Each structure stands twice: as C-alpha cells, then as structure tokens.
Chain A
C-alpha cells in the first residue's frame, strides 16, 4: 500500500514523533507506515484522514491495478 503520509507531514513541518503523538501510536509505527512496511488498520487510517482533513484514498492508495 502506497501512502502520502511523509509528504503531508513534511508540508506541515511535523516530525515523525509529532505525527505519532497526534495519532497516538509509536514513532516506529509512523516510520514503518511511511516506508510502506506496515499497512495501518482502518481506524488508524480514518484517524490520519481526520487529522489531515482529507479522504482516506487521498492518503492511502492500493498498489494493485484496477481494471
């Protein structure tokens, strides 16, 4: 799963620790999500969407090509 978390975070000049604080997860988890190594749960994705005031699909995209 691809995501724009790093870009969105950089646009707001937030550190990983600050984003982790806002989403109530560990900094390691933010790092893993940004690198695409860990796919967040739906509740966490919704939380990120609320934080950035965006739709989930504006932040997270499935890498599987749709027909």
Chain B
C-alpha cells in the first residue's frame, strides 16, 4: 500500500466532505436563525409576510442541516458512531433531567428569574462536547 493510496482514502475523503457540508448547513442555519430573530424588529418592522417567510426559510435550512448531520453520522466508522451515540445519549439525558429540574426551580420559588431554553441548550452542548472528548480519550 503506497502513501498515495493512503491519501486517497475514500473513508477519510468522504468524512472530510461530509464535515464541510455539515459545517456549511450549520452556518446557514445560524444565519437564517439570526435573520428570523432580529430582522423583524430591526429591518422590516414586524411585517408579517416577511417574518413568516424568514421563519419558513429557517425551518427548511434547519431540516437540511439535520439531513447533513444524519449523513455525517451514517458515514462515520463504527467506533466513531459509538462515541457520538453515547455522547448524544448523555447530552439528551442531562438536558431532560436537568432541564425539568431547572424549570421546576422557578415553580417552587427557589429562583426568581424565568428559566430559559437557551440555558438548557448550552448545558446540552457542553455535555456533548465533554462526552465526545472523553469518548475519544477512552479509546486512545
């Protein structure tokens, strides 16, 4: 097996292409989310038609991002799939358990502010990153 053959690794090149596609759709989704969130107030003064259009575009791009993510996951090798599956399971579990308890804190008057969904999303994101990192370390 030559170095050239190694560099032409179909797994690696497919993985790289999937990563770039996922990155591009994620970036597009963030942009459309920002437009849907801020443009009604700062650009078109809550014009209903434009706001609905922005929301629909955001949803469509979001679904396309999900499809890109599914393709990315399916084309990973079995060990990487296992690492990411465990990380996703942990992030979902932490999000559910901590999210519900967090929501309860206001109801039982232990906190005075309104719990926000982004806090749970940030927690899930951090949990996912730590789980992926520790998963790769486990198999090193």
Contacts and interface: CB of A to CB of B under 8 A. Distances in A.
Interface in B11-67: 11-12, 15
Given A21-B5, A21-B11, A22-B1, A40 B78 contact: yes
A65 B11 CA distance: 36
Contacts of A14: 1
A24 B77 contact: yes
Given A21-B6, A37-B139, A26 B77 contact: yes
Contact of A32 (B9, B12, B79): B79
Interface of B: 1, 5-6, 8-12, 15, 77-80, 82, 136, 138-140
- Determine chain B's interface SS by DSSP, over half rule: helix
A35 B38 CA distance: 51
B138 to A, nearest CB: 7
Contacts, number: 55
A29 B6 contact: no
Given A22-B1, A26-B80, A31 B140 contact: yes
B78 A41 contact: yes
A17 interface: yes
Given A25-B78, A29-B79, A20 B138 contact: no
A51 B10 CA distance: 16
A11 to B, nearest CB: 13
